[in-house]
Structure 1
Amino acid sequence: MMIMLYGSIEAGGTKFVCAVGDENFNVIDQTQFPTTTPDETLARVIKYFKKFDHIDAFGIASFGPIDVDKDSETYGWIIKTPKKGWSNIDFLGKMKENFDVPMYWTTDVNGSAYGEYISAKKNDESIKSVAYITIGTGIGMGAVINGEFLGVEGTPEFGHIKVKRHRDDLDFKGICPWHGDCLEGVASGPTFEARNGVKGIDTPIVDPTWDIIAYYVAQAVIDLTVTFRPNKVILGGGVCTPDFIAKVRAQFTLLFNNYLNVGSLEKYITAPEIAHNGSATFGDFVLAQKAIDEQKND
């Protein structure tokens, strides 16, 4: 009997990670390559998956903003995006031209959130909801509640919430081209270099910039906590080292002042459980199976 094969596409603004998994969601093959032009990049995606005898379904988690409204004329598109050359690209349509199989289409951070949700639920059946904040070149958030994503007409643009400014950071205008000092504008990875001329990776953890950014991220965690009370909040992306997450927990404690009981902060505000940046790949495999199930029920 032929085994099921699931395709995962983690489409990032910097690189694409493509993988094939078996019916137990184990990776059996994987590749990655830089994100260049849409034509060149999508051609590489298609060529990679064509190597396999069959792919039964895809989970596609893309940078955005993307259109996830199935009733929209631009469903499956990357729409207005700051990534040069990638606005108004019919990503899903291109895939469907080449593969006549079910496909689940969502954001890159939703793919990671789903993977972490399934992983957390395996370890603790009481888990019903998780939020995943990714902090890197930009900031995004995905949330899963009882197996479904937060957001109906569109996916959350959580990176653009407003935050209270740190008293030692008032002169920094922020880098968001739309909002200046929204969360992404003051707490994403490129803000290190914008402030100090030094990249975050080269900034010692004792530098006060880390405390400023932790102050902003802690506010974001508080916003999630008081709006839909997730069982846990996961911090991923290049900025989120263990030392930084510890700083976020400390700021959360100071700012939230025990207003609600969230239990142990070491269990509530965590790094991803899935190793080797595999959250989105695992999540995509599970979403590919979900796409098959949804097609059967249509």
Structure 2
Amino acid sequence: MATQHPVLALDIGGTKLAVAMVTRDGRTHGLLVEPTEKHRGPDAVVSHLFDLGRRSIAAAGLGAPAAVGISCGGPLDAAAGILTGPLHLPGWIDVPIVAMASEAFGVPAVVENDATAAVLAEHRFGAARGADIALYLTLSTGVGGGSIIDGRLHRGAAGNGGEFGHLTVRPGGRQCECGRRGCLEAYASGTNIAERAQELLADGTRESSLRGMPLVRAEHVSTAAAAGDPFAREVWDDTTALLGQAVTDLVNVFEPNVVVLGGGVTRAGAMLLDPVREIVQQTAMPPAAARVDVTLAGLGDEVCVVGAGALALDLADDLALDPKGPARV
């Protein structure tokens, strides 16, 4: 029996918090987005998150939620409902986010890796709808991944599978937050695109329109590259080449129907998508290259919120069928 009540969706990002009420059609209501301010620590950020949740419930005007869904980068223990140590949230060690949310809102709650939640959202409501095998990469503060295999979410043996951002694309390269060197995340996340540009400008020998900016962001790099800045173009081309390499490897391994790219970096649109798609078509194994569609997220910036909502809707449905214990999708 499917619940007709809306659910509350909470997304904890390294840069922003996003909350909304989500209805069964995947639509968001009362969407609120505010900075994470992660330097304040988990207690302050979680308090802020729950306050946003209460404000969203009031703004949506749909009544109380049936459940709460939470998306956050890993590592996390979804079965136990604990954020064990998200890489994008330093100092968040063993935060019992599900118990905290359930107590705050008086309803059951569930947590999942943000990219896993996102691939569920895209499979149910967006660009991967109906695909038998779908991969999702989020290019944001970090680089996360999620997958649908045989029409179902793939989580891995311990629930943290799909860390596509930690594929090695440049052995011995830049230091990654995970402790290794040369990970995709160290080159293709919004944070690291900006850091690479700043590092290369620091020696004072490179001319660029980015020089002198107080804070360079990834969007500045893509905009300058599109405007013909040779330095910015060099950084951007290196980014898309490494991302294309990683997506090609994933296509060769999984042979998916679709690879969906989401997150803030994808606001660059065709400037990101076209070179990545071209690399995949030219370098992936022929059977896989011919079948895969590389595309941008259909749900845009709301994908993780909708994904958290989808998880909460499934939780509410499971509890309606069996109040003693929900099954995971």
Tell me by how many angstroms 1:101 deviates: 2.4
- Is the 2:166–2:184 Cα contact (8 Å) retained in structure 1? yes
- Is 1:147 equivalent to 2:172 in the alignment? no
Residue 137 (structure 1) aligned with residue 141 (structure 2): yes
* Structure 1 alignment gaps of length 5 or more: none
Match in the other structure for 1:213: 239
Matches within 5 A, 1:148-187: 148-156=153-161, 157-164=163-170, 173-177=173-177, 178-187=179-188
Would the aligned equivalents of 2:257 and 2:291 in 1 still touch at CA under 8 Å?
A: no
Match of 1:91 among 97, 119, 130: 97
Distance 1:57 1:81, change over 3 A: closer
Question: Residue 188 of structure 1: CA displacement?
Answer: 2.2
Greater helix share, structure number: 2
Which residue matches 2:311? Answer: 287
1:239 aligns with 2:265: yes
CA–CA separation in structure 2 for the residues paired with 1:160 and 1:220: 10
CA contact (8 A) 2:15 2:141 kept: no
Answer whether contact 1:174 1:191 (CA < 8 A) is retained: no
Map of 2:210 onto structure 1 = none
Per the alignment, residue 254 of structure 1 pairs with 282
Counterpart amino acid of 1:245? L
User: Are the aligned partners of 1:57 and 1:289 in contact in 2 as well (CA < 8 Å)?
Assistant: yes
Tell me the alpha carbon deviations over residues 226-285 of structure 1, each in whole angstroms, 9 at most, x when there is no partner.
2222210011122222211111112223322x53244476xx11011124x122222222
Distance 1:186 1:32, change over 3 A: closer
Change (3 A) 1:222 1:26: same
Q: Which residue of 1 aligns with 2:297?
A: 272
* Cα deviations by residue, 1:52-105 (Å, 9 ceiling, x for unpaired): 44210122111232112x2xxxx2221123423322211112112223423231
CA contact (8 A) 2:136 2:146 kept: yes
Distance in 1 separating the partners of 2:192 and 2:31 = 32
Seen in structure 2, the aligned counterparts of structure 1 residues 188 and 282 have a Cα distance that, compared at 3 Å, is closer
| Residues 175 and 181, structure 1, Cα contact 8 Å, conserved in 2 | yes
Asked whether 1:40 is paired with 2:44, we answer yes
> How many correspondences in the alignment?
280
Q: Secondary structure at the match of 1:260?
A: helix
Inter-partner Cα distance in structure 2 for 1:21 and 1:194: 35
TM-score (norm 1): 0.83
What is the CA deviation profile of residues 173-215 of structure 1, one whole-angstrom value per residue up to 9, with x for unaligned ones?
A: 3131411211112332233343332543222145122222112
- RMSD of aligned residue pairs (Cα, Å): 2.5
In the alignment, which residue of structure 1 is the partner of 2:207?
none
2:168 partner letter: K
Q: Would the aligned equivalents of 2:81 and 2:96 in 1 still touch at CA under 8 Å? A: yes
Contact 1:117 1:129 in 2 (8 A): no
Give the structure 2 partner of residue 116 of structure 1: 122
Distance of 1:215 and 1:113 partners within structure 2: 23
Q: 1:185 to 1:23 in 2, by over 3 A?
A: closer
> Sequence identity, in percent?
25
What secondary structure sits across from 2:110 in the alignment?
strand
5+ unaligned residues in a row in structure 2: which ranges? Answer: 58-62, 199-215
SS, match of residue 239 in structure 1? helix
Distance 1:120 1:236, change over 3 A: closer
C-alpha contact 1:249 1:269 (8 A) present in aligned 2:
yes
Counterpart AA for 2:279? Q
